[in-house]
């Protein structure tokens, strides 16, 4: 299928590496960006056509638009893409509100197109290996799980960190989808939540010397602690933060009646997977990356989407997944802080 990319920022080059590895499935025809100079340079580097955003929408040769714009633009670009008769693969989050999500979901059916969304790291070998081990009964019946990601933001290294502290940014909407997607793939949908969140720093100081501005006013909460109760009855503790000065390793663990399993970093396609051996009383590695560079690259989700459409094998669960992620994130974002379980009412 023919691909058109909208949004030519840093992540777009990572997608191009993935597309280059799958030329039998996808052909990148063109790119567009509101910054014409950026898209011109991108088009020249990858020998593809440079178009305006509107011309890319109307190009009859493009089958799928890959939406790599900043989060604040995901909804608008995906809407226009669907209205133009294109399938869409969007970077996460798929939208910023339930209202936006409902409109997108309606457009999918109105225009008979498909919308898939990142993250696609669950297609990588580390997650699939872990999922297979759980399904095999290796750790027994799941009785609990724990997920956490903590760092002190992105302003020390990112070339344009300001949008991480605006609506659609923050740790919940930026990093949350990786962990929530992985949890949902294993445990199914969430039924209830309890949450606490705060905005620890009103202003963030930009330490990256290449960024022209020196301070960022923070508009979103940047530290979340929550309990997620799944329909299966399993309760998961969930922490995600941009406020912790001494970061610790990302954690995604599932606890079973027979053993426990430690997943690889959900932000990566591969990595170490370990199972706790109760006889030796230590973690035993059961999977390691065969490629030190974690060489799977973004774009696997687009390839999966193309194959699903071509083979007419679209999973309803796959279609609903990014919207359930949105439901849970919006519930966490708007939680009233009164310490009671709040039901997640299905919206899609």
**Above pLDDT 70, what percent of the chain?**
99
| Over residues 228-248, mean pLDDT | 94
Domain for residue 268, yes or no?
Answer: yes
Q: Is 95 helix (H, G, I), strand (E, B) or coil?
A: coil
Q: With 90 as the cut, is the pLDDT of residue 107 above it?
A: yes
Please say whether the dihedral angle defined by the alpha carbons of residues 134, 135, 136 and 139, taken in this order, is positive or negative. Answer: positive
> What average pLDDT does the segment 261-273 reach?
95
Cα–Cα distance measured from residue 122 to residue 301, given in angstroms and rounded to the nearest whole number: 9
The confidence score (pLDDT) of residue 296 equals 66
Per-residue pLDDT, 294: 63
Question: How many angstroms separate the Cα of 137 from the Cα of each of 133, 256, 278?
Answer: 7, 9, 15
Q: Is residue 306 assigned to a domain? A: no
Question: Helices 176-187 and 125-135 meet at what angle, rounded to 10?
Answer: 30
Please tell me the predicted confidence (pLDDT) of residue 6: 98
Distance from C-alpha of 130 to C-alpha of 136, rounded to nearest angstrom: 10
User: Residue 30: which CATH number?
Assistant: 3.40.50.720
338 inside domain: no
What's the whole-number mean pLDDT along residues 96-105? 97
For residue 75, how far is the Cα from the chain centroid? Answer: 15
Q: Would you place residue 334 in the very low, low, confident or very high pLDDT band (cuts 50, 70, 90)? A: very high
Is position 168 within any domain? yes
Is pLDDT of 295 > 80? Answer: no
Q: Is residue 236 part of a domain?
A: yes
Quick one: DSSP state of residue 263? P
Q: Is residue 46 part of a domain?
A: yes
Q: Are residues 276 and 294 in the same domain?
A: yes
Q: Cα separations (Å) of 126 from 178, 226, 277?
A: 14, 26, 19
pLDDT value for 57: 97
Q: Clarify whether residues 144 and 72 are in a common domain.
A: no
- Confidence band (pLDDT; 50, 70, 90) for 116? very high
Q: pLDDT band at 248, cuts 50/70/90? A: confident
What domain range is 103 assigned to? 2-117
- pLDDT tens for 297-323 read 789 999 999 999 999 999 888 899 999
Give me the mean pLDDT over the 11-30 stretch: 93
Shared domain for 177 and 35, answered yes or no, is no
- Shared-domain flag, residues 36 and 138: no
Asked if residue 344 is part of any domain, the answer here is no
Of 69, 99, 117, the position where a domain reaches its end is: 117
Q: Are residues 159 and 83 in the same domain?
A: no
Strand ranges across the sheet with 115-117: 49-50, 27-32, 2-6, 64-67, 87-90, 115-117
Reference 188, options 145, 217, 242, 219; nearest CA is: 145
pLDDT digits (tens, 9 = 90+) for 156-194: 998 889 999 999 899 999 999 999 999 999 999 999 999
Q: Do 156 and 271 have their domain in common?
A: yes
For residues 166 and 230, membership in a common domain is answered with yes
Lowest mean per-residue pLDDT among 5-14, 112-121, 173-182, 286-295: 286-295
Same domain, 126 and 266: yes
Least confident of 233-237, 247-251, 292-296, 336-340: 292-296
Residues 280 and 160 in one domain: yes
- In the chain, % helix, strand, coil (3-state, to 5) comes to 35, 25, 40
Of the three residues 99, 117, 135, the one that is the final residue of a domain is 117
Cα 256 from Cα 10, distance rounded (Å): 40
CATH of the domain at 189: 3.30.360.10
State the Cα torsion 302-307-310-315 to the nearest 10°: -90
Query: Is it the case that residue 45 has pLDDT exceeding 70?
Result: yes
C-alpha triplet 140, 118, 337: angle, nearest 5°: 70
pLDDT band at 64 (very low <50, low <70, confident <90, very high): very high
The DSSP bridge partners found for residue 88 are: 65, 115
Q: State the pLDDT at residue 226.
A: 98
130 and 229 belong to one structural domain: yes
- What integer best gives the mean pLDDT of the chain? 95
Burial of 332 (0-12, 13-18, 19+ CB in 10 A): buried
The count of domains in the chain is 2
Q: Which of 256, 278, 298 is the last residue of a domain?
A: 298
Q: Cβ(101)–Cβ(92) under 8 Å? A: no
Same domain, 132 and 276: yes
| One domain, residues 202 and 76 | no
């Amino acid at each position: 299928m023919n691909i058109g990319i909208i949004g030519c920022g840093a992540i777009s080059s990572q997608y191009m590496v993935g597309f280059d590895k799958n030329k039998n499935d996808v052909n990148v025809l063109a790119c567009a960006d509101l910054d014409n100079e950026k898209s011109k340079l991108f088009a020249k580097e990858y020998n593809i056509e440079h178009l305006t955003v509107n011309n890319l929408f109307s190009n009859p040769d493009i089958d799928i638009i890959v939406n790599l714009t900043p989060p604040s633009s995901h909804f608008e670009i995906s809407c226009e893409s669907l209205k133009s008769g294109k399938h869409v693969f969007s970077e996460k989050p798929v939208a910023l509100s339930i209202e936006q999500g409902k409109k997108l979901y309606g457009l999918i059916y109105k225009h008979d197109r498909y919308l898939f969304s990142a993250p696609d790291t669950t297609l990588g070998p580390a997650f699939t290996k872990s999922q297979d081990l759980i399904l095999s009964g290796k750790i027994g019946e799941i009785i609990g799980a724990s997920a956490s990601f903590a760092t002190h933001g992105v302003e020390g290294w990112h070339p344009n960190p300001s949008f991480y502290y605006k609506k659609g940014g923050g740790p919940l909407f930026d990093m949350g989808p990786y962990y929530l997607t992985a949890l949902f793939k294993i445990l199914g949908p969430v039924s209830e939540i309890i949450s606490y969140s705060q905005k620890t720093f009103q202003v963030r100081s930009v330490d990256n010397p290449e960024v022209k501005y020196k301070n960022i006013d923070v508009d979103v909460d940047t530290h979340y602690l929550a309990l997620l109760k799944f329909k299966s009855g399993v309760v998961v503790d969930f922490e995600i933060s941009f406020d912790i000065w001494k970061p610790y390793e990302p954690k995604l663990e599932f606890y079973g009646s027979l053993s426990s399993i430690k997943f690889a970093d959900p932000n990566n396609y591969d990595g170490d997977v370990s199972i706790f051996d109760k006889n030796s009383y230590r973690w035993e590695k059961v999977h390691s990356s065969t490629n030190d560079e974690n060489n799977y690259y973004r774009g696997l989700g687009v390839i999966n989407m193309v194959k699903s459409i071509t083979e007419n094998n679209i999973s309803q669960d796959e279609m609903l997944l990014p919207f359930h992620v949105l439901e849970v994130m919006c519930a966490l974002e708007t939680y009233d802080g009164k310490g009671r379980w709040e039901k997640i009412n299905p919206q899609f």
